[in-house]
Amino acid sequence: TQDVAIVDAHADAATAQEEVDSLETVVDAGVKIAAANLAGGAANAFAFAWENPESVPIIVQRVTLDRTAAGGTATAVADVGTAVDATTHSDNLIDGVDLNATGPVDNITDKGSNGKSRQRLDANGGTTAWITGQILTEAAAALTGKVYIEYIKVRA
């Protein structure tokens, strides 16, 4: 005996369309990456401040600091986190990362005690729509590099 498969062309077409629609949704909800400069400075200065540019809330998946030049002081560290404005301290993404070193660090591998792997930001202009990176303990005057913020837009 031979097995015979009966194919419902309409069902297959509907399944294929669902897969295409799903794929389009994934592409439309894609991950975005913003970049900003890291600036050296005195203790308590901000190395960067970035505001959510989107008109909807976002989920920050990763923040990477790419330190291309060390800060110049052995005990200089940075905290990075969500904030209400460009000059508010926060450490809920990265807590106490060394600024007198070079190379990339992020909130997944190098998050410290209080850092988390993801945080939600309000829409542009909202209450908590900023990510700040503050230099702490000692100056990091020679610090240079970039910060990369990877995020996805929240859907209604």
Place of tokens 């960067």: 48
- Measure the CA dihedral 142/143/146/147, to 10°: -160
CA distances from 77 to 5, 67, 70 (A): 66, 12, 11
pTM over the 0.85 mark: no
Give the residues across from 58 on adjacent strands.
121, 153
**pLDDT string in tens for the chain (156-residue length):** 555 444 455 555 666 566 555 555 455 558 999 999 999 999 999 999 999 999 999 999 999 999 999 999 999 999 999 999 999 999 999 999 999 999 999 999 999 999 999 999 999 999 999 999 999 999 999 999 999 999 999 987
Sequence letter at residue 76: A
CA–CA separation, 105 and 111 (whole Å): 9
Go through 30-67 and write b for each residue having 16 or more CB atoms within 10 A of its CB, e for each that does not: eeeebeeebbbbeeebbbbbbbbebeebbebbbbbbbb
Could you please report the per-residue DSSP string of 54-108?
SSS-EEEEEEEEEEEE--SSTT-EEEEEEESSTT----SSEEEEESSS-EEEETT
CA–CA separation, 74 and 133 (whole Å): 18
Architecture of domain 32-153 in this structure = Sandwich (2.60)
